[in-house]
Structure 1
Amino acid sequence: MKTVILIVLIIFTLLSSGKKFRWCTLSDLEQRKCAELSKALTAVLPLATANSFARISCIRAHNTYDCIDKIRVNKADAASLDAGDVYSAVKLYGLTVVAKEIYDQGNCVFAVAIVRRGTLDIQRLRGARSCHNGARWTSGWNIPLGFLLARNDLSWDEAQPLSQVISEYFNASCIPGVGVAAPQLCALCQGQKSYVRDKNHFCETSGNEPFYDSEGAFRCLKNGVADVAFLDHLTIMSATESEQQEYELLCPDGTTAELAEYSTCNLGKGPGRGVVTRHNFQKITNKFLSMVQRLFGRKGKERARFELFTSAPFGGKNLLFRDATQHLQLLEEQLEIAYVLGLDYVALLKGLGHEGSSLDNSVVRWCCISDAELRKCEEWALSIKSDPLVCVQATSMTKCIEMIKSSEADAVTLDATHVYIAGRCGLVPVAVECYGRDCAPAAESSEETGKLIHLKHKALPPVYAVALAKKNAKQINIHNLRGRRSCHSHLYSPGGWLFLSRYTVGALENDTENCDIDSVYQNYFWKGCMPGADGNLCKVCIGDSEVEGARVSSRCAASHNEHYYGNMGALRCLVGNPSGRSFGDVAFLEHSNLLQNIKNLDSSGWAKGYTPIDFELLCPDGTRAAVTEWAGCNLGPIPPSTVMTRPVTVTKIYDFLMKSQESLGSKLDSEFHLFQSWKYGGSDLLFKDTTQYLVHASHMSYQEILGVSFFQLAELVFNCTPAGILDFCKQDICKSSSNDS
């Protein structure tokens, strides 16, 4: 009884204006289902009579964009659309999203490529005939094109329309909604042609185009019109036994798989459909959806009368909503679109030019983490003769990852631990740094020395993590560092944070069950400087006293704005500030430019008189060794730093780096050098100074670059140690909602 009273109250609130709630439909079958919904509402809720109010009115539209326009100009109120159209409705037409469809596996769909068994593989799509569920749709356009661009199978100069590039790639296609710009992309469609708009259904996003939507794209393949169909996994979940025998999926690795294996063989995952309305109608739409779901949803009180997520009685599929919808998840008001559709997906749409062409598409935005990096980057931008470079400043490497994921920047060079974090956040490798004189044998010879060289199976020369102490502090060894003052290159650094866990977490096992290494370090060391951390491990940091007013704000910053940041910074921390006051007992850093940094202590005027013989390495077995003995006395080998970006911008960043290295790499006659930092007042700015080459790595996963042991250690640590950046990235994971309304 309470439920009925609640529903009646909702209805009176909803209908007090006396207006109809107008749902936008795209086919005669949808119109029929919508009319039945209206009848069912009238039967269930007789209190609002037909004379004063028709509860739901069904507005027939020509196509999805006609629906969006009708909602915008107040001729309709709501519609359920593909996520690609939802984005356009919000960004280009000023509408808002009020709900998401939730399926068995959450609110996302797998984008799959289906072919007749034994006819094609993913490497042979060029020249094939293709059918897609819709232009600018998640599984038929956005994810497949992002996939092809990331692999450099599609070569897109952003000056030309993407549709033109696709029409040159496929032999002929049916991509409903693509428009008239590329006739080849509609060549396979079979809707009725007419010069009268309302009678023209050819290549339109409406039910009158036989090859529209995922069901239509699959029909196109089954009719023998196309060689490959791009659609979502929901369509093949109900494939018949004969369809499962006849068709297969194309997997990214070049293999094929059964239709039922879509969760492991797909081109990517993206958001499902959403319901859009006008901003001023959001509350009313919310209440309306809540009401019809309570009545006619999967658990609805009146399911016997009408089923909201079933289309079979009306002779079609996916009418008004996808039949696979389990429930509608109602959204908070004013929710940013990136958090509705996912950060990766929105970044992909921007990369594909969904908001039209913009300056961002034509430039490379490099992420810098300090004033010194910005100075170097700006000189790089002035020196490069290829694509325009824009320098974007962030406060740390993790902030760079966040900005690249959110499409506010495009690329950054990251140390191995940050490569792990970026990989978990959906970024991918472009190139890795190669260090030292042993670098060349690990690379292919190239006629053009500047070209990014492909990584061979042979491992790149390693960088070692080392623990450094002053020679005269004889009592210090790796096993008695507890309670001492520590200097670390920065938070999350491989040598100063990750590898160190092997020596400190174990040492505290008797005292605590805690495996959160941040809190372990706070308890293990007396005080120190680990830029980017907090508490005890910021007490020794000094910031940048040379910049007026910056000392407080830059103190313990995870960037070169903190004088004790990085390999050079950890060394400075160990020897103390220029006045000679010593702050550290041990420094955790990398061996790669250690000898040069010790020389720089003197030449830069930071600390006079130091030479390599004034320091020793602390070895894992408790002994000590000369600073040149790093190969035998280290905390572990560190994978190389890696340039990371979003998948859709890999080729653009690769081409840009190739041209930069070709003209600015290590040429003596060049005023600007990519791999030198001294003239900008720092070390290892943008790239490590010991870098000899940038090696092409976009054909590798971040896990392959990191190697099994480093990856497993990072997994172990981050599964237990909280990291805000990983929480930020988790927002993007497609997962089921527990809310039913």
Structure 2
Amino acid sequence: MKADMGLLTSLLLFTFLPLLSSGKKVRWCTLSEMEQRKCSDLSKALLAVLPPAILSSFARVSCVRTHSTQDCISKIQANKADIVSLDAGDVYTAVKLYNLAVVAKEISVEGSCVFAVAVARRGSLNIQRLRGRRSCHSGAKWTSGWNIPVGFLLSKNYIHWDEEQSLIRALSEYFNASCIPGVGVTAPKLCSLCQGQKSYVRDKNYFCESSHNEPFSDSEGAFRCLKSSVGDVAFLDHITIANATDTEQEQYELLCPDGSTANLTAYSSCNLGHGPGKAVISRHSFYKIAKKFLTVIQNLFGQKGKAEARFSLFTSAPFRGQNLLLRDSTQSLQLVEEQSDITEILGRDYVALLNGLGHEGSSLDNSILRWCCISAAELHKCEEWALNIQSDPLVCVRAFSQTGCIEMIKRNEADVVSLDATHVYIAGFCGLVPVAAEYWGGECMLDSGRALGMEKLIHVSDKGLPPVYAVAVTKKLARHVNIHNLGGRRSCHSHLYSPAGWLLLSKYVIRNLGNDSFSCDINSVYQHYFWKGCMPGAEGNLCKVCLGREEAAGKDSHRCIANHDERYYGNLGALRCLVGDPDGKSLGDVAFVEHYSLLHNIKSMESAGLGNWYSVSDFELLCPDGSRAPVTDCANCNLGPIPSSGVMTRPVITSESMNSLIKSQETLDLKPDSKFQLFESHVDGEADLLFKDVTSCLVHTNHLSYRTLLGEQFYQLAESVFNCTLAGILEFCNQDGCRSSEK
């Protein structure tokens, strides 16, 4: 026992040395008398457990009473207080607008993140019927009470917000009355349900303030607002309802994004999104002291702390309150490096959401849409598009692959991109959502409602979009080739992760190899299965046949790159790879492409003099049963159906993106004789630039999840393959704030 005390004394002496030498107090900012009492007890507990040798020189913890979180932030900036734990929304404000530093994140059993949920009385509401209702929110610009739910309502176009009005005004028009603590005196309607003390003396006024003295503040307060029958719906975090009583479970339910409802315990599957939890902030000049201080009090008074019996850091019950100083659900404090960027701390998705909601003082710029292009040819077409819709500004930005576009959108460097089905899966995994889907197959079948520039398609609700099929094409003279003996042959694929030449193909390759030879990583399987080939974006053997561009001779970066700068990229490129060069050199034995453009691409190569020694009759399809069929029989001889390509964006700007596309299509519809056509490609003999050339129109899909858009069969296949296949883009997305704690 004496040895343990000696070790503890040494630890405390070593850890507190910077505090002693600086003579600094640690001033904790408190928001209520309850917090003030807990802070005072913390100070006394430290004095009680500190060794006598340093008691006389140790500066005790000081508790600085304030009346709101904003007041705390201001006092810390002005060196009148040192630390406080804040909601992630306020953390962002403190860092970006007040130049404060994040010292530690609060970690609960489920990680550092929270689910934002909407709660209502059983049988009273669904998420689609909130207009004109009374709402209770944990706090203005807070994660669960504002940022995520408001972002969700905007993404579904339930709330209309444009450049002519503020977001606060848009919310005031949407809800009948609200309590949103901290929203400010300029929004009386959004404070009308609050019940804090009113006073003309600022320090005594707690009405609609983010303080424990506002009864409806924080998530517990929002739930209290609902339970008091003051509000109809409450927006709060899942932690508040995780331990709901049996009575609460019977009386209240969650409102799910799809319009359904669920029990309070189903928050992991029925929520409006997730975001970062609370974090402790301080000034940069005080960061090292704050870090040492938090380390000591956690070692002493945290979970299984050496002096937890004397004082419990993560318990508020003895002070007749909840979540005082820190959340009661907190298991530990995770220290953050001082140089960490706020995006690393809170996550890219969350920071992009805050930017979209105007947390740095600016609102969404509804007049500009940044479209992501993957090649010089796409960039050229995009710029032509922008010139033809001058009234609706379009900005064209450049990445070098579809995954590159997903990264740019995640970083808020671009807004929108059209992706093939596999990349829709990747983008959805990364937190992006569908805006529209490409409809092909002739004239758009129209019904009442809206589509992009037209009415809503019947096919979306009735039969689904017309299928695109993955097909394996070979030359008719190559009689020995069939779907079962492709091992060791030369292959042509449109690109890495392509639906036809990568994902659906995996089923047949694995089947041909047999279970004994199965490797989990499908990229590794392809490298060993095919002799060589061209799969733009891949590596090793599957780049050996790739060509790059003649005009880019000597530039290795263009060879095997996953965009149109590689001559054999895309469905047209894979067919070029199969045909070979005009000298008769054959490069591939089989090409994996999508059927919609097969006949057109064969004819276009013939007319361009690229394949004038071949015609449609010179090619055949490889069928799953080992037989072959004419290229006109895609419906009966294919590797499986592929969902439509989708336009993807960040959730908060879904409606913006959709409206911009509607205006763009309407503008172009007024120019039927224009040389520029959105669904045609006439640049350097390329095809499918920005959209598939066979697209008839874009179908509105922001009411669908990406999983629904893809269909369960395709989604399950993609999930099973990516669960064991390394993909850099998924690793990139997994690094984002909340995802890392969930995995």
Partner of 2:275: 270
Q: Does the residue aligned with 2:200 lie in a helix, a strand or coil?
A: coil
In the alignment, does 2:714 pair up with 1:710?
yes
SS in 2 for 1:505: helix
Match of 1:450 in 2: 453
Counterpart of 1:86 in structure 2: which amino acid?
A: V
User: Contact conserved, 1:110 with 1:269, CA < 8 A, in 2?
Assistant: yes
Give the unaligned 5+ runs of structure 1: none
Q: Secondary structure at the match of 1:502?
A: helix
- Asked if the contact 2:9/2:50 (under 8 Å) is kept, the reply is no
Q: Which residue of 2 is the match for residue 261 of structure 1?
A: 266
Cα offsets for 1:513-532 (capped at 9, x unmatched): 31311111111111111000
Q: Is the 8 A contact 1:192 1:202 kept in 2?
A: yes
1:40 to 42, 45, 50: 45
Q: Does 1:377 align with 2:382?
A: yes
Which residue does the alignment assign to 1:621?
A: 625
What corresponds to 2:310 in structure 1? 305
Match of 1:671 in 2: 675
CA contact (8 A) 2:416 2:657 kept: yes
2:60 corresponds, among 49, 55, 58, to: 55
Report the Cα distance in structure 1 between the residues aligned to 2:607 and 2:500, rounded to whole angstroms.
26
> What do residues 376-413 of structure 1 show as CA deviations (whole Å, max 9, x unaligned)?
11111111145321111111111111222222211111
CA contact 2:239–2:329 (8 Å) conserved in 1: yes
What is the CA–CA distance in structure 1 between the aligned matches of 2:608 and 2:263, rounded to whole Å? 64
Q: Select which of 721, 724, 727 maps to 2:725.
A: 721
* C-alpha distance after superposition, 1:144-177 (max 9, x if no partner): 1112112211111144211110011111111111
Q: Counterpart of 1:692 in 2: which secondary structure?
A: strand
Q: Deviations over 1:59-117 (max 9, x none)?
A: 22231122112222322221100011111111222222121111122222222222334
Which deviates the most, 637-646 or 55-64?
55-64
- 1:372 touches 1:681 (CA, 8 Å); kept in 2? no
When residues 101 and 667 of structure 1 are mapped into structure 2, their CA distance, relative to the original with a 3 A threshold, is same
**Residue correspondence of structure 1 range 389-468 to structure 2 within 5 A:** 389-437=394-442, 440-441=444-445, 443-444=446-447, 450-451=453-454, 453-454=456-457, 455-468=460-473
Query: Which of 252, 259, 277 is matched with 1:247 structurally?
Result: 252
Rounded Cα–Cα distance in structure 1 between residues aligned with 2:450 and 2:211: 54
One-letter amino acid matched to 2:341: E
Q: 1:599 to 1:121 in 2, by over 3 A?
A: closer
Q: Which amino acid aligns with 1:143?
A: I
Query: Partners of 1:447 and 1:70 in 2: how far apart?
Result: 51
**Match for residue 535 of structure 1?**
540
Deviation at 1:207, TM superposition (A): 2.1
Partner of 2:180: 175
TM-aligned CA deviation for residue 222 of structure 1:
2.8
Out of 595, 599, 604, the position equivalent to 2:608 is 604
Alpha-carbon distance change, 253 to 599 in structure 1, aligned in 2, over 3 angstroms: closer
Whether the 8 Å contact between 1:107 and 1:736 is mirrored in structure 2 is no
User: Residue by residue, what CA displacement relative to the aligned partner does 1:21-57 show, whole Å, maximum 9, x if unpaired?
Assistant: 1211111221111111111111111446565332311
> Aligned partners of 1:160 and 1:666: how far apart in 2?
29
TM-score (norm 2): 0.94
Q: Which amino acid aligns with 2:68?
A: N
Q: Percent identity?
A: 67
1:226 deviation in Å? 1.9
Could you say if the C-alpha distance between residues 241 and 502 of structure 1 is closer, same or farther in structure 2, counting changes exceeding 3 Å? closer
SS in 2 for 1:211: coil
The partner residue of 1:573 within 574, 577, 584 is: 577
CA distance in 2, matches of 1:257, 1:552: 55
| Cα contact 2:358–2:364 (8 A) shared by 1 | no
**Shift of residue 361 of structure 1?**
5.6
In 1, are the aligned partners of 2:163 and 2:366 still within 8 Å (CA)? yes
Larger deviation: 367-376 or 306-315?
Answer: 306-315
TM-superposed deviation, 1:228: 2.0
Equivalent residue letter for 1:433: E
Report the more deviating stretch, 687-696 or 9-18.
9-18
Structure 2 matches for 1:329-368, cutoff 5 A? 329-357=334-362, 362-368=367-373
TM-score (norm 1): 0.94
State which drifts further: 69-78 or 32-41: 69-78
- Give the letter aligned to residue 430 of structure 1: V
Q: Report the 3-state secondary structure (helix = DSSP H, G, I; strand = E; otherwise coil) of the residue aligned with 1:622.
A: coil
**Structure 1 Cα separation of the partners of residues 740 and 510 of structure 2:** 36
Q: For residues 322-346 of structure 1, what are the alpha-carbon distances to aligned partners after superposition, in whole Å with 9 as ceiling and x for unaligned?
A: 1111111122332222232222222
1:376/1:680 contact within 8 Å kept: no
Q: How far apart in 1 are the matches of 2:468 and 2:635?
A: 9
* 2:519 corresponds to 1:514: yes
- Aligned-pair distance for 1:511? 5.8
Q: 2:498 is matched by which residue type in structure 1?
A: S
Secondary structure class of the residue paired with 2:512: helix
Task: Work out the CA distance in 2 between the residues paired with 1:675 and 1:588.
Answer: 23
Q: Report what 1:631 is aligned to.
A: 635
Contact 1:452 1:657 survives alignment (8 Å): no
Query: Following the alignment from structure 1 to structure 2, what is the Cα–Cα distance between the partners of residues 55 and 723?
Result: 52
Correspondent of 1:165 among 170, 175, 182: 170
Instruction: Confirm or deny: 8 A CA contact 2:450 2:456 kept in the other structure.
Output: no
- Code of the residue aligned with 2:496 in structure 1: it is L
Bigger shift: residues 702-711 or 83-92? 702-711
1:233 is matched with 238
Query: Separation in 1 of the partners of 2:156 and 2:375?
Result: 32
Amino acid at match of 2:48: A
Higher mean alpha-carbon deviation, 190-199 vs 567-576, is at 190-199
- Number of matched pairs: 735
Cα separation, partners in 2 of 1:497 and 1:107, compared to 1, 3 Å: same
Give the CA deviation at 1:600. Answer: 2.2
Cα distance change, pair 666–713 in 1 and its aligned pair in 2 (3 A): farther
Are residues 1:687 and 2:691 paired?
Answer: yes
Per the alignment, residue 479 of structure 2 pairs with 474
Pairing partner for 2:510 from 502, 505, 509: 505
- What's the CA shift for 1:604? 3.2
Gaps of 5+ in 2: none
Please state whether the residue corresponding to 1:712 is helix, strand or coil: helix
Q: Are 1:105 and 1:736, in contact at CA under 8 Å, matched by a contact in 2?
A: no
